[in-house]
Homo-oligomer: A and B are copies of this chain.
Amino acid sequence: MTSVRELLRVGPAVNLKDIDPGSTPGLPGRKVTGRDQKVWAREQLALIGGELAVHQEMLYASAKGSGGNRRVLLVLQAMDCGGKDGTIKKVAGAMNPLGLHLVGFGPPSEEELKHDFLWRIRRALPSAGLMGVFNRSHYEDVLIARVDSLVPADVWRERYGQINAFERELTGDGFTLVKVMLHISYDEQRERLLERLTDPTKHWKYNPADVDARARWTDYQAAYTDALGRCSTDHAPWFVVPADRKWYRDWAVANIVLETFKEMRLSYPEPDFDLDAERQRLEADRAPAMAS
């Protein structure tokens, strides 16, 4: 199978307008068609989930004892209703919660605003051995910060370079970065907002401000296009996942993470103790000592 990462990776010339949010790159269309594709993708996701859990455990184990510093950071960005939460539920949910480090970034707090925009990001980085997931990230500082003019243009323009330097620093410190933009269409966003109004168990997810933000859709697409193009580097590439179909989105993100894990060539660490000696100690130890 073609690498999903290769198919979805974007470069400096990316333009979101050229990427169809309803497409399904990499899905074996000829073998499984129509409704079958969804069923197939969901089945595959379950299998991939099991593989992800094994790689995640090796990552976790490798940081114990000997002190490896490797860790993975999945950065998720999307327009409202783009499916960040759903992706986390399905892809991160397949892994062991003990090895996950999940952080969501909302509007910066008063204290955070008193610092450089990367301050709160640095404080939230995963420790060695963990699978980090950022639900929104420092990219908001070149997205909403730009579209809503929260900072002057010369400030956000400087940030692309600052982000690239920051991410290079991270990859030098054991990080493997996986940056994913979930790409939905204007129509699909409306459908999902309507669904939140229709289903009483989803009312709480609905925010009237999300509809107001639709007025700035085109500006956001331009801001995303710039962020993707300027910050998709060899050490920290961006992937754009067509996300109008949830089952494709989950399958694609799971594959991107799995391919990343495989490339890391993780393994369980060798024991740093004498296996036979320990076994003998345990075999001899049949009853608890008396209370002291």
Contacts and interface: CB of A to CB of B under 8 A. Distances in A.
Contacts of A204: 61, 64-65, 268-269, 271
Contacts of A208: 273, 278
B190 A282 contact: yes
Nearest to A292: B219
A288 B102 CA distance: 32
A289 interface: yes
Given A97-B93, A278-B206, A279-B197, A285 B61 contact: no
Interface residues of A, number: 58
Question: What DSSP secondary structure best describes chain A's contact surface?
Answer: helix
B197 A275 contact: yes
A257 interface: no
A194 B102 contact: no
A135 interface: yes
Interface stretch (A20-28, A84-92, A156-164): A84-92
Contacts of A152: none
Nearest to A61: B204
Contact of A197 (B96, B104, B278, B286): B278
Interface string A205-238: 1101001001111110110000000000000000
8 contacts: A64-B204, A65-B204, A88-B96, A89-B96, A97-B97, A187-B286, A211-B281, A214-B288
Interface of A: 57, 61, 64-65, 85, 88-89, 92-93, 96-98, 100, 102, 104, 133, 135, 186-187, 190, 193-194, 197, 200-201, 203-206, 208, 211, 214-219, 221-222, 268-271, 273, 275, 278-279, 281-283, 285-292
